[in-house]
Amino acid sequence: MKKILVPCDFSSTAVQAFELAAEIAAIHQGEVMVLHAIEFVPAYETSFVAQPYAFNSTVIEELENDARKSFDEMIHAHNLDELTVGFYTDHGPVTDTIRQFIDDHNIDLVVMGTHGASGLKEFFIGSTTEKIVRSSHVPVLSVKSQVNLKSIKNIVFPVDPDLHQQDFIDRIKELQNFMGAHLHVLHVNTTIHAADERKVKASLNDYIQYYGLTDYTLNIINDTTEENGIMRFTNDINADMIAMATHGRKGLAHFFAGSIAEDLVNHVSCPIWTYILKPS
């Protein structure tokens, strides 16, 4: 985790994400790259029709200067010692800008603050963090409140016993070792996908042994949905983090099937680490 990206609008949650990213970078002797995306509204309304709104160079320069001032204030408020922190601005749709930056700079980890989204906004638009979780090919750590690394000792790890992804498990092991945390392996048996608990337990034990997981407990619970079960279990044990895979569905597949990981980003208060599954 040498290159850590923090997309930043300088809100309180974005600053909290920056603080966590700085902790991680300090341990790995890495670099924090703060990106501020400037997204222009493409049109304004008149009484007749929407007209294009052209931003001149002076407006763009003022926005960039404001962002630089906010960045300087954020840096001066933290004792960063010799940590390398870079600041970048770019123009365009926020989500696309972040995705392009990830590719262009070979980012290892994205740490993002999120306010979540709810109601119709969640259904039709979703939060920026949710969109990055869905599309980033590198791990994304979503942060909704202030947290520090030392406090992360219990990680909920929701799994499907039929899931076989060596790359994903290697990332989970790396995360667990880095945090020095206990892994709460969790399977939620739902009403729709009910299965014999003995068979599920046997499959999960095979899964755990095959991938050589250590320092873990195995948990099987029943709930109406996987999302509800994960949230309930996380709250019951007062977990410090959730680490899970996402399928990264797009288009109609995402519209109809959605993603448990993305839903949890909007609704869970603890940090959530996500990683898109790669094809077997």
Structure letter (DSSP) for residue 20: H
Which residue spans within the chain are E strands per DSSP? 3-7, 31-38, 43-45, 50-52, 84-91, 109-113, 140-143, 154-158, 182-190, 216-223, 241-246, 272-276
Q: What is the pLDDT at residue 262?
A: 79
Sorted by where each starts, the structural domains of the chain and their CATH numbers stand as 3-143 (3.40.50.620), 150-276 (3.40.50.620)
Structure tokens that stand for 96 in this block: 């696309």
CA 272/CA 47 separation, integer angstroms: 45
Q: What is the pLDDT at residue 263?
A: 79
Cβ atoms 233, 156 nearer than 8 A: yes
CA angle 217, 213, 2 (to 5 degrees): 115
CA 6/CA 117 separation, integer angstroms: 19
Please give the chain's pLDDT, 280 residues, in tens.
Answer: 789 999 999 999 999 999 999 999 999 889 999 999 988 755 555 555 555 555 567 878 888 999 999 999 999 998 887 899 999 999 888 999 999 999 999 999 999 998 654 443 433 334 788 889 888 999 999 998 889 899 999 999 999 876 668 899 999 999 999 999 999 999 999 887 777 889 989 999 999 999 999 999 999 999 999 999 999 999 999 999 999 998 755 543 333 334 788 778 878 889 999 998 876 5
Q: What is the pLDDT at residue 47?
A: 53
Helix (H, G, I), strand (E, B) or coil at 217: strand
